[in-house]
Amino acid sequence: MFNLKNIRSDFPILAKTRNNKPFIYFDNAATTQKPKVVIDKICDFYSNYNSNIQRGMYFLADKATSEYEKSREIISKFLNSNLKEEIIFTSGTTHSVNMVAFGYLKKLVSKGDEVLIGEMEHHANIVPWQVIASKLELKIIPIKCCENGKIKLDDLIKKINPKVKLLAIQHISNITGHENNIKKICSIAHKKNVRVFVDGAQAVSHKNINLQDLNCDFYSFSGHKCFGPTGVGVLFGKRELLLEMDPFFFGGNMINKVSFSESSWGQLPHKFEAGTSNIAGVIGLGASIKYLLSLGFSEIQKREGLLIEKMWAELYSNENIIIQSSAPPDSPILSFNIKKLHSYDIGSLLDEMNICVRTGQLCAQPAIKAFDVSGFIRASLCFYNTENEIEEFISSIKKIIKIL
């Protein structure tokens, strides 16, 4: 059974107060809080077997390497990748996007070719493609999205042509919480020989990800958005594509041979993991994924479904609140505005009431422009949030409306 009291006790920060009042943390789309098992796992590494990996021939190094590679196995099974070597550890989604943009895209394209990008994408899934497109003289073509933030499939189909080589899209919108049909999109793209890169940053903490079923070419996520540490993430790539792809970061550990005349790269996955990795972060990420699996995604989705239903009903029924979406989100991410009030003012007053939300442009300026707003108030929840917190949040919003 999903015991909310026990689960909340797993997260030390949820017991913290300010001015003797508890926090309400509704900024989970930006970063999630960390369970004690993750904190303890990181502390255990630094306290008991801190060493570099894949180098030393002694106990501590063997232990560190073993725990690091266990995380790769855990994540490979979690994502249902075909091979564990298809899991590359990065510093996060941004790093992963850059790796594919600068290491793989040039293998695909010629001058004048096109890259399709959803108009609702996070800046991290726009800017790297934009920069490499400028260097390679490619065209970036935006794909229209509906008011819920989903790709318009008819616009995607219309814009795929022989010059299109890659499509970059998010799995779940960081603004609306709505989910793209990645499997269908990949099917459409692959029929036209278009590769698909998926930003999964907002999906991994909320649902089971089956990469073999989705059949995307690349998939990425960040550890800090799924109850793991900051500064660590994952890039999945199909083996045959990773073999074609060039490293974009160079140094020790990723090499086969080095001489002053030339160097050659090691085998997967080490080819893409130059230097000393964020070992503690990778080990902590493995612990966070194990924690999620211990709760069970069916239970997580059931719990979050109740929170979505309650929050949506409260927001949608308030005549002073403007929601761009026409339907409740697939994940508990809800962005809105209040008539005649600026999102920053709302965020500041909510902070005084110990309520943490995100306000502003949400690292998605093209999406903000498409919605024709200056910014949003975003309340993003997860399974450890409560109905009482939602009621307190809505009550606080009503107080602010009266004040302003």
Domains parsed from the chain with CATH numbers = 4-26+296-403 (3.90.1150.10), 39-293 (3.40.640.10)
248 or 93, higher pLDDT? 93
**Rounded Cα–Cα distance for residues 129 and 125 (Å):** 7
Considering Cα of 62, then 65, then 70, then 73, what sign does the dihedral take?
negative
Q: What is the pLDDT of residue 253?
A: 86
Banded pLDDT at 231 (limits 50, 70, 90): very high
**Residue whose token pair is 């960390």:** 34
Q: What is the pLDDT of residue 280?
A: 98
Q: What is the pLDDT of residue 147?
A: 86
**Rounded Cα–Cα distance for residues 32 and 353 (Å):** 20
- pLDDT for 44-99, tens place per residue? 999 999 999 987 789 999 999 999 999 999 999 999 999 999 999 999 999 999 99
**Rounded Cα–Cα distance for residues 171 and 274 (Å):** 28
What's the 3-state SS for 352-394? HCCEECEEECCCCHHHHHHHCCCCEEEEECCCCCCHHHHHHHH
**Rounded Cα–Cα distance for residues 267 and 272 (Å):** 9
Chain mean pLDDT for the chain: 96
Distances in Å between the alpha carbon of 226 and those of 116, 205, 403? 27, 5, 36
Distances in Å between the alpha carbon of 257 and those of 103, 239, 245, 265, 385? 20, 22, 18, 7, 51
**Rounded Cα–Cα distance for residues 155 and 28 (Å):** 31
- pLDDT for 297-343, tens place per residue? 999 999 999 999 999 999 999 999 999 898 999 999 999 999 999 99
Distances in Å between the alpha carbon of 364 and those of 127, 160, 176, 272, 359? 11, 24, 12, 28, 12
pLDDT greater than 90 at residue 188: yes
User: Residue 208 is which amino acid?
Assistant: N
Banded pLDDT at 210 (limits 50, 70, 90): very high
**At a CB cut-off of 8 Å and minimum separation 6, what does 179 contact?**
150, 171, 172, 173, 203, 207, 330, 331
Q: Are 332 and 381 in contact (CB under 8 A)?
A: yes
Q: What is the pLDDT of residue 2?
A: 84
pLDDT greater than 80 at residue 1: no
Furthest-apart CA atoms within the chain: distance in Å = 72
Rg (CA), the chain: 22
Residue 301: alpha-carbon gap to chain centroid: 17
Strand 333-338 and strand 321-322: pairing? antiparallel
Banded pLDDT at 396 (limits 50, 70, 90): very high
**Residue whose token pair is 């709302």:** 346
Considering Cα of 286, then 289, then 293, then 295, what sign does the dihedral take?
positive
- In sequence order, the β-bridge partners of residue 166 are 115, 195
**At a CB cut-off of 8 Å and minimum separation 6, what does 340 contact?**
none
Q: What is the pLDDT of residue 81?
A: 97
Banded pLDDT at 241 (limits 50, 70, 90): very high
Determine the average pLDDT of the residues in 354-378: 96
SS3 126: coil
CA angle 104, 186, 222 (to 5 degrees): 60
Q: What is the pLDDT of residue 55?
A: 79
Banded pLDDT at 378 (limits 50, 70, 90): very high
Active site includes 363? yes
Q: Which of 145, 216, 356, 363 is catalytic?
A: 363
Please name the residue ranges forming H helices in 31-92: 36-48, 59-79
**At a CB cut-off of 8 Å and minimum separation 6, what does 10 contact?**
35, 36, 37, 291, 384
**Residue whose token pair is 């970059």:** 168
